[in-house]
């Protein structure tokens, strides 16, 4: 990624951090002009949001869709998500809310996900003001936005003062930071656009607010033996269907535990960062889910493992696997020059699921 490397050089020179250049490039994405859509920029309890809804008159209150964008909480924005939000609003005749949460490294974990939670709670409490049925609100997240969506759904299951979330839609989500040697992490470690090492490095920057050497994390030296044993029942290649291990998977033993490394990243076992680590009592209360995974994405197995956990506890799951897909494939929706053949299939499967709620 040329611009990412250039940003790294500028960071070393003390001009600005490497993610700034990606944020500047985001501004080059043209705004969506849609005469059939109403948009409003608002602030929910201090968090900027944008609402989208079709100009057509509904028979009653519309569904509500909360969209949380990806970018590892380091880059991307409402602007980069606009085309997807327009498609969701039109395709499902819903009110869509997109959150402009603060970004790391200036605002590391848990600030971005907490911003999303704040905006979600406000929207759910005041749904009728925006023409939304409070009992039909789905939370949709792409990539790290899928992490946020899963985490927020977990946070809300015990909230008796709010309506219940109708569904969660997790699009190639990151869900754990315990085992980076699962089959998909090995098989797709060098598949663009998100290489395994780069992806983990970005995730650790979001977690800590610092750029760090992740070699030990990749070898699992950051996980204490007692936690490794606890999480083994949830995060293990044994829980991955055999057909996903056929392509160059070799079991690897973790490196010796490093207390120093653990101290740097220990908040990575919190469920707001790694929703796959939630206790069974939370998992069984979660709303219906749609999970999208891509064969050529190193995060594929996070989605597969979460699917199994949900199903094991009786939570209905609709699963769509993109056999020729890779990480970020749906981000291209609406950008005709670079849309991949499966991009629209992904988007339409999400829309069909949401329409059926």
- The dihedrals phi and psi of 210, each to the nearest 5 degrees, come to -130, 155
The active-site residue out of 115, 133, 179, 297 is 297
The active-site residue out of 143, 144, 184, 342 is 143
The active-site residue out of 69, 302, 327, 342 is 327
Nearest to 4 by CA among 211, 172, 260, 190: 211
Q: Give start and end residues of each alpha helix (H) in the chain.
A: 2-12, 18-26, 78-92, 111-125, 144-156, 183-187, 196-208, 215-218, 225-231, 259-265, 280-283, 300-312, 343-355
Nearest to 141 by CA among 153, 159, 128: 153
How far from 108 is each of 120, 209, 269, 278, CA to CA, in Å? Answer: 19, 5, 15, 21
Residue 217: CA atoms inside 13 Å, Cβ hemisphere, count?
A: 26
Q: Give start and end residues of each alpha helix (H) in 33-102.
A: 78-92
Question: Among this protein's residues, is 281 annotated catalytic?
Answer: no
Residues 220 and 2: their CA atoms lie apart, in Å, by 29
Question: Among this protein's residues, is 297 annotated catalytic?
Answer: yes
Q: Return the active site residues.
A: 143, 297, 327
């Amino acid at each position: 990624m040329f611009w990412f490397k250039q940003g790294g050089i500028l960071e070393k020179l003390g001009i600005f951090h490497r993610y700034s250049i990606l944020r500047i490039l985001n501004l080059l994405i043209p705004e969506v002009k849609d005469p059939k859509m109403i948009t409003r920029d608002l602030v929910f309890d201090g968090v900027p949001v944008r609402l989208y809804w079709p100009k057509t008159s509904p028979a009653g209150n519309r569904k509500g869709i909360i969209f949380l964008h990806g970018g590892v909480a380091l880059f991307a924005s409402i602007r980069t998500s606009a085309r997807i939000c327009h498609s969701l609003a039109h395709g499902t005749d819903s009110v869509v809310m997109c959150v402009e949460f603060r970004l790391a490294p200036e605002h590391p974990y848990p600030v971005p996900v907490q911003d999303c939670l704040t905006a979600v709670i406000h929207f759910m409490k005041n749904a009728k003001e925006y023409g939304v049925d409070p009992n039909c609100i789905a939370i949709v997240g792409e990539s790290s936005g899928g992490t946020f969506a899963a985490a927020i759904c977990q946070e809300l299951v015990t909230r008796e003062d709010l309506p219940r979330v109708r569904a969660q839609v997790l699009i190639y989500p990151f869900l754990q930071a315990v085992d980076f040697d699962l089959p998909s992490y090995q098989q797709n470690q060098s598949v663009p656009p998100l290489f395994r090492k780069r992806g983990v490095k970005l995730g650790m920057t979001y977690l800590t607010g610092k750029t760090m050497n992740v070699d030990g994390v990749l070898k699992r030296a950051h996980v204490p033996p007692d936690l490794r044993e606890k999480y083994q029942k949830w995060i293990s290649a044994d829980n991955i269907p055999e057909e996903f291990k056929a392509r160059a998977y070799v079991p690897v033993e973790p490196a010796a535990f490093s207390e120093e490394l653990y101290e740097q990243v220990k908040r990575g076992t919190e469920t707001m960062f790694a929703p796959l680590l939630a206790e069974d009592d939370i998992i069984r209360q979660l709303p219906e889910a749609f999970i999208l995974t891509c064969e050529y994405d190193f995060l594929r197995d996070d989605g597969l493992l979460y699917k199994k956990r949900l199903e094991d506890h009786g939570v209905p799951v609709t699963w769509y696997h993109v056999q020729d897909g890779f990480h970020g494939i749906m981000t291209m929706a609406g950008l005709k020059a670079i849309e991949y053949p499966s991009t629209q299939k992904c988007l339409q499967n999400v829309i069909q699921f949401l329409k059926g709620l």
